[in-house]
A and B are shown apart, each in its own frame.
Chain A
Amino acid sequence: MEADREPRPGGPERHHEDGEDLLAIQATLRGRKDAFSSIVDRYTPLLYSLAYRFLDSREEAEEAVQEILIKTYRSLQQFRLHSRFHPWIYTIALNHLRSCQRKNRRTARARIIPFDEAKAPAASGSSGPEERVEALEGERLAAAALRSLRPEYREVFLLRQVQGMSVSEVSEILDLPEGTVKTFLHRARRHLIDSLSREGFS
């Protein structure tokens, strides 16, 4: 099992960003509303990439990001200023996304969404029609594999692998012991590769 290493992208800069987050929040609480826009700017793309994995469309993901940021803003007075904002907002985000997902499941949507609908399929060499179909299909397979994961494993995988957080931060956000995070991550990885590989074989 992998040892916990440096957090992925955004590691050392995180301290600087943490300080900026806290300054922005304190200013907002003091009544300077424009101060919150720096939080919105920083977290919109991050939250979107997470929301997109939970929901079925760009529109839903964007709507979810807006709702999450509004919830965050409204509950600002509950945030303890001596702690880090980053895991706190992600906790709000996950709770919101989970309840969106439960709602979606009830309406039984069968459509599997490509990994990123909007992204132009990456093509190696000439981007002929074959390559594009291939790339789209690859995205579809990856998304399906992710969806086939148990929710607990999927959340760990998304936060650690896709959002690039450290094991300790994932542990904090999901309220799981670090050992469990590592176990879930390991299982998620195994399952993803194995289910992808078995795809199409009886």
Chain B
Amino acid sequence: MTSCEIWTEKLQGWAHEQWETAAPGIEPPDWLREHTGQCPRCAAKLQAVLLLLRGSESRPAPSPGLAGRITAQLALEGRPRSRSWRRWVALPVAAALVAALTFFVTYRLGDAAPTDTVAVRLVLEAPGARQVSVVGDWNGWDPTADPLTDRDRDGLWEIELRLRRGQEQQYQFLIDGERWVPDPDSPLRVEDGFGGFNSILQI
């Protein structure tokens, strides 16, 4: 066996042991380096092995402006449609919040209604608003699904919903497509993760 072949066997043996302990900045022992000083071919192999062992340390980096360019490109995209949004609570509500329920909801147990749903009427005072919708768990947080109406133009917007019984629903009102407000008539609310609050309907 040539000295290169012998050395290569030693390299193999050493390298296989390093995987378990390989930390960034791993350095080869002197006895491996002895041969590579005179043999550029084996020196290159050692380099290659070190690169692989070091793994995450040898990650190539993109050009500095790449992230900025991508963000600029994305600014041209339309907004991703939020079809199946699930509610996401930033902080859990303290048990105290689940105390008294005295919010302004009219229940009307329906005649022709299936027994597992309940009619719920929500009202919001928003004079000066051009459009109001209620956005919540039951409509997948689609801002267009449940618009409120203000027929007599007195600033009092309302909607009647049919919701499934037995499920807690979180919701907010959306005014003019940009202002989010929780239901002022509902004392049950939970942080929405944006510095605002979701109201809760318990049916």
Interface positions of A (Cβ within 8 A of B): 2, 8-9, 22-23, 26-31, 33, 36-37, 40-41, 44-45, 48-49, 52, 58, 61-62, 65-66, 69-70, 73-78, 80-82, 115-116, 118-119, 130, 133-135, 137-142, 145-146, 161-164, 189-190, 192-194, 196-201
| 8 Å CB contact of B69 from A45, A66, A162 | A66
Considering the complex, which residues of chain B in the window 41-86 have a beta carbon less than 8 Å from any beta carbon of chain A? 41, 43-52, 55-56, 58-63, 66-67, 69-71, 73-75, 77, 79-86
Q: Is B81 touching A77 in the complex (CB atoms < 8 A)? A: yes
A73 to B77, CA, bound (A): 9
Report A180 CB to chain B, min CB distance, Å: 18
Interface residue? B40 (CB, 8 A): yes
Q: Is A8 touching B56 in the complex (CB atoms < 8 A)? A: yes
Residue of B nearest to A49 (CB): B59
Interface positions of B (Cβ within 8 A of A): 5, 8-9, 11-12, 15-16, 19-20, 40-41, 43-52, 55-56, 58-63, 66-67, 69-71, 73-75, 77, 79-88, 90, 141, 193-194
| 8 Å CB contact of A9 from B46, B56, B71, B81 | B56
Given contacts A48-B66, A197-B45, contact A116 B60 (CB under 8 A): yes
Q: Is A77 touching B85 in the complex (CB atoms < 8 A)? A: yes
Residue of B nearest to A199 (CB): B45
A142 to B58, CA, bound (A): 11
| 8 Å CB contact of A137 from B47, B81, B87 | B47
Given contacts A140-B48, A190-B16, 13 further A-B contacts (CB under 8 A): A26-B88, A30-B82, A40-B74, A45-B61, A49-B59, A65-B70, A66-B70, A74-B80, A161-B56, A164-B55, A193-B52, A196-B45, A197-B12
Given contacts A70-B77, A134-B43, contact A48 B60 (CB under 8 A): yes
A162 to B59, CA, bound (A): 7
